[in-house]
Chain A
Amino acid sequence: DAKTTQPTSMDCAEGRAANLPCNHSTISGNEYVYWYRQIHSQGPQYIIHGLKNNETNEMASLIITEDRKSSTLILPHATLRDTAVYYCIAITSGTYKYIFGTGTRLKVLA
């Protein structure tokens, strides 16, 4: 599985868009990019995933570069409840052993 690299922490003003980057320069063609978040000490929550195309759902948008070496999770209007640790994971088709790294700690400021 490709290793992903994320900034350790980020701040975002409430109501503004939060853009969380993820580098996965060694990603292969059959690896999906998944995003989860973990609020306080709760269980992680699925946000979104994609392979090549940009994706959008009710929670967020996922922008994947054309070369697939990086992606950005966008929370369009961050709220205080979006304060959490965000994990970017590359998952290979056929494998169960993928890595949740240390993620990005996003703090939304009032």
Chain B
Amino acid sequence: NAGVTQTPKFRVLKTGQSMTLLCAQDMNHEYMYWYRQDPGMGLRLIHYSVGEGTTAKGEVPDGYNVSRLKKQNFLLGLESAAPSQTSVYFCASSLYPPWDNYGYTFGSGTRLTVV
């Protein structure tokens, strides 16, 4: 099993460009999450999904949109990239909610630089 796969692994964008980060999981997990991690900081939740066709805002949702059209995929979109969105983005999934499971499975991250 591949677990949680994130593509791309690295990307450089110019300010104002758009892009989509793809997260795919093959564990039939119900719940999926997008986090960002800035240097010297912990992870902050951007958006999450509690099942196919659902999305919800996390702690820092501004400037991002998400979609969960298929259970196995969770897409994170940047419509108009800004330098403040330079970060490492992690996707995670879990079979059960955060308070009732044996932890999330995280992807290896996407390192995004906006110039």
Residues of A with Cβ closer than 8 Å to B? 32, 34, 36, 41-47, 49, 87, 91-103
Residues of B with Cβ closer than 8 Å to A? 4, 33, 35, 40-45, 48, 50, 56, 58-59, 88, 90, 92, 97-100, 102-109
Check A43 against B42 for contact (C-beta < 8 Å): no
17 intermolecular pairs with C-beta atoms under 8 Å apart: A36-B103, A41-B109, A42-B106, A43-B4, A43-B107, A43-B109, A44-B90, A44-B104, A46-B104, A47-B103, A49-B103, A93-B100, A94-B99, A95-B98, A98-B45, A100-B42, A102-B41
Check A97 against B58 for contact (C-beta < 8 Å): yes
Closest to B58 in A: A97
Query: How many Å lie between the Cα of A82 and that of B90 in the bound state?
Result: 21
Check B103 against A46 for contact (C-beta < 8 Å): yes
Check B102 against A49 for contact (C-beta < 8 Å): yes
Check A100 against B43 for contact (C-beta < 8 Å): yes
Closest chain-B Cβ to A104's Cβ sits at a distance in Å of 11
Q: Say whether chain A's binding surface is mostly helix, strand, loop, or mixed.
A: loop
Query: How many Å lie between the Cα of A77 and that of B15 in the bound state?
Result: 48
Check A44 against B106 for contact (C-beta < 8 Å): yes
Contacts known (A44-B90, A44-B106); A96 close to B42, Cβ less than 8 A: no
Chain A residues whose C-beta falls within 8 Å of the C-beta of B45 in the assembled complex: 96-98
Chain A residues whose C-beta falls within 8 Å of the C-beta of B58 in the assembled complex: 96-97
Closest to A44 in B: B106
Check B41 against A42 for contact (C-beta < 8 Å): no
Interface centre among A36, A45, A94, A96 (most CB of B within 10 A): A96
